[in-house]
Amino acid sequence: MTKILLVEDNEILAECTEINLERNIQEAKIYLARTISMAGEFLEVIRPDVAILDCNLSDGDGLSLVNPILEKNPLCHLIVTSGMLSPNYEEQIRDMGVHSVLVKPFELAELNQIISQRISNQVVLGESRFGTAGGISPLIKVTEAERVTHGIMNKLSSLMTGLRLLQLEIDEDLQGVPESKQAIGANIERMIGVIKETSLTIRNSFGGDNGRA
């Protein structure tokens, strides 16, 4: 049984991601934490194989969980998600021992692929390159504008993941009606395209590669 620790404080995004993982990752147990504190409680009783961490949480920085998780399981595959990532910011995160970085809004299929590869041992796992037992990861300072951007990206991610789950349910319900299935699917793809364009516009308005937004 693969233990997946999901740390996300956006209610809709958290629930949609959890449903997606339950449907698409075989023999997995999902532990959903909405706060760093709740994640810490899970770490007292589980040894996660995969951890999905949102950076900006209501009670602190999700990156503060990197070392505690790797102390619990040095081979845990760490996935960080955030709406305020630039190449420079991503490099800093990877230097902390993170294996995969997803910029919001991201496709659920991409997340599923990363986890499936981890489970099938197709990914070469590294050890934490930072800190020792009891150490604290260096957190990256975030501006208020970046926090606002992250919040907007969370909302866009919620819309996109919700639409993807809706698409799966419609595909199942309309298996015998291919024309309707195709038409609805095309409309959903158009809506997702608008979400992606909107996220790119917002990211560029906050400086693109000049900042973490």
Peptide bond before 87: cis, by omega within 30 degrees of 0? no
Task: Identify the CATH number of the domain in which residue 11 sits.
Answer: 3.40.50.2300
Task: Say what the pLDDT of residue 38 is.
Answer: 97
Q: How confident is the model at residue 126 (pLDDT cuts 50, 70, 90)?
A: very low
Cα 160 to chain centroid distance, Å, stands at 13
Average pLDDT score over residue span 119-131:
51
User: pLDDT tens for residues 136-194?
Assistant: 344 566 667 777 787 888 899 999 999 999 998 998 889 889 899 899 999 999 999 99
CA–CA separation, 106 vs 8, rounded Å? Answer: 14
Task: Say what the pLDDT of residue 142 is.
Answer: 62
CA–CA separation, 24 vs 111, rounded Å? Answer: 10
CA–CA separation, 210 vs 162, rounded Å? Answer: 31
Overall domain count for the chain? 1
Task: Say what the pLDDT of residue 25 is.
Answer: 94
Task: Say what the pLDDT of residue 45 is.
Answer: 96
Asked if pLDDT for residue 15 goes beyond 80, the answer is yes
Q: How confident is the model at residue 118 (pLDDT cuts 50, 70, 90)?
A: confident
Question: What domain range includes position 147?
Answer: 1-213
User: pLDDT tens for residues 22-62?
Assistant: 999 989 999 999 999 999 999 999 999 999 999 888 888 89
Residue that wins the pLDDT comparison between 70 and 93: 70
